[in-house]
Structure 1
């Protein structure tokens, strides 16, 4: 399996709003990837449902821990990788199992907890080179600074 490339887009929401984090896989925002998957699978509702995570709205703990599956406030064994487009992650989250080893970080077993019947088996898995992943987390951490973690 070839490795995917990840980066974490970090930008302000609206005009001077809070920071929003959207993972980008192989250059595409995860919000677009999941929208395309859900629409193609005929899921309803689908399209423009997801948004990035807003650390300022919910204390996930340090983002480098969160995106390694060690979030201080995640619900259960999975980690929210996207939130709702409204800004509240719990409203419409995309959850994933994040498994980190010395060589790789894998995102798989995606789910939409408010729609348990949805089948995400064909979405992912995404496997990232651990060094590239850690570099992306370091870049994210530098971008958001200590106030947002």
Structure 2
């Protein structure tokens, strides 16, 4: 794994989820152009975890995240489960974030945003201590969040 000071790039794709005629929308994170689902699946496989990588992005139409920008910035009032101080970056591949979320703390500093402290709360025996952290330049992270929020807002208005 890269050192904590390795600067990464993030993006959030908004894409169709499901096979319905009018599919739901999925917010899918990528780190350095690699799907976070793939990164987690590789880590879980190499760690010998059962059912590795059974995740999807956040299915936005199934999850009340509130203000997307505040949520992705990990703002306390927007935190997924506030008492843990985390946000779900991924949900279960069934489309339900509450079924099998993959969570992270989001630390926002002046020039950096860091994802660290990854957990799978329904499998607390799993150790993600050597997964990440992922460090992003604040301006690049802010831009990726704004772009995703604009796409979500635009699609909600149509």
> Which category describes the TM-score, using the shorter chain as reference length?
over 0.9
Equivalent position of 1:17 in the other structure: 23
Partners of 2:79 and 2:88 in 1: CA distance: 10
Deviation >4 Å, runs of 4+: none
1:1-149 mapped onto 2 (5 Å cutoff): 1-14=5-18, 15-47=21-53, 49-70=54-75, 72=78, 74-75=80-81, 76=83, 77-145=85-153, 147=156
Larger helix share, 1 or 2: 2
Conserved in 2, the CA contact under 8 Å of 1:99 and 1:106? yes
> How many residue pairs end up in the alignment?
147
TM-score by length of 1: 0.93
TM-score by length of structure 2 reads 0.88
Kindly indicate whether the alpha-carbon contact (under 8 Å) linking 2:79 and 2:86 is maintained by their aligned counterparts in 1. no
In 2, Cα distance between equivalents of 1:65 and 1:54: 17
